Amino acid sequence: MPLNILFFVRPDLTDLPGGDTLQVLATAQALRQFPLPSDSSFIVHRSSFPHVTISSDPNIDLDPYHCVHLFHLERPHETYIYLLAALHAQKPIALSTIYWPETRRPRPHSILYRSRRHFWREDAKNIIRCLLARTPLERKAASLAIRTGFARCRQELLEFASILLPNSQAEADLIAKECRHPQRFVVTPNVIDLAACQNVLASPNPHAAPSLGPPHDILCVGHFDPRKNQLGLIHALAGLDVSVTFIGAPRRMHRRYYRQCLLASHDQHRFLGPLPHPAILQYMRSAHAHICPSRYETPGLVNLEAAVMGLAVVAPDCPPVREYLKNHAIYFQPDDLDSLRTAVVLALNHPPTPELARHVSENYTLQALAQTTLHAYSMIVH
């Protein structure tokens, strides 16, 4: 039998796509595409391809699976219910943490020192999530997170995971400070669908791509919420003859924030709403630059896609982003609107560097993701 892996994911993974959606699908694709290495120590047939099941059902029978893979350290209202299911079934657990803290200021990151206000705010959010739940599963998961408490849910995810899979060494180093006990880490890279990007770039009909045209040759792709900081970008560009094309929709709890962005824009910018991934790549094909105004990223899959599509990339200056994009991107200081404004102007006045596209294409591949993920599984599956 093949190595049998279960991905436990949030119920709205595809209905409300985000960076975690791309990471989940890319990991599944990578594992299905590359066979187990011939020297694998797995107790399964060594020449087989891993079998990956993606599910949001916490009651699924876990007996057939060798390992359970969870996603998100900072969203225990979605993840904790699956942790308990895996623990009850006594299955090894891999956790892709997808985490970077909200602040850049040097401070102790131990969970003992984190702001109580932060935990109370997250617990309050879970009460709202429970009240607004659309399905019995959402209500049950939120209620469980409320009863347990955000801080304890988060600590148990760190403590009971068999291995942690951060997306960068910077993320691994940071999370290690929060672990009360020694933990095993394998850095698994964020990757993109390089073939999809290359197919769009190689299309013989460039007119198939939607035309942005000046001054609409800047893209900003991502769901709307305060962390993504689209409102900050709008304020930073006020008074400039620069227009951004925004692609994305608000999360359920951030519709008010989306309306604030619309009002602050004063028709200077365009808002296209959510678009399918192929359409986003087509827009990237005709753009000059992509702006990621986030306060922090881990490192942001859209940044990697924009790089491969040949765009100049403006991104927040935080360690995971620097680790991926090196010195090939244009950086700004988070929460500094003047710095953001300067970075956008700089991107518009300088051509994209081909070195960035080459760097991402060569280093963040599906094969690299498959190798590191399988290595992580080999450390916990016996």
Say yes or no: 36 and 174 in one domain: yes
Say yes or no: 376 and 251 in one domain: no
Helix/strand/coil for 292: coil
Say yes or no: 12 and 84 in one domain: yes
Token pair recorded at residue 167: 């997306």
Other CB atoms within 10 Å distance of the CB of residue 101: 17
Say yes or no: 173 and 24 in one domain: yes
Q: What is the CATH number of the domain that holds 225?
A: 3.40.50.2000
Task: Provide CB contacts within 8 A for 185, sequence distance 6+.
Answer: 163, 164, 165, 166, 172, 175, 176
The total number of structural domains that make up the chain: 2
Q: How do the pLDDT tens digits run along the chain, 382 residues long? A: 678 999 999 998 888 787 888 899 999 999 998 877 665 555 554 446 789 999 999 999 999 999 999 999 988 999 999 999 999 999 999 999 999 887 544 444 444 345 566 677 788 887 888 888 889 998 999 888 889 988 899 999 999 999 999 999 999 999 999 898 889 999 999 998 888 899 999 887 655 556 666 655 899 999 999 999 999 999 999 999 999 999 999 988 899 999 999 999 999 999 999 999 899 999 999 899 999 999 989 888 899 999 999 999 999 999 999 999 999 999 999 889 999 999 999 999 988 888 999 999 999 989 999 999 999 999 999 8
CA atoms 100, 289, 335, 13: torsion sign: negative
Answer for the pair 291, 330: CB distance below 8 angstroms, yes or no: no
Q: Which domain holds residue 123?
A: 4-190+365-380
Q: Give DSSP secondary structure letters for 18-32.
A: -HHHHHHHHHHHHHH
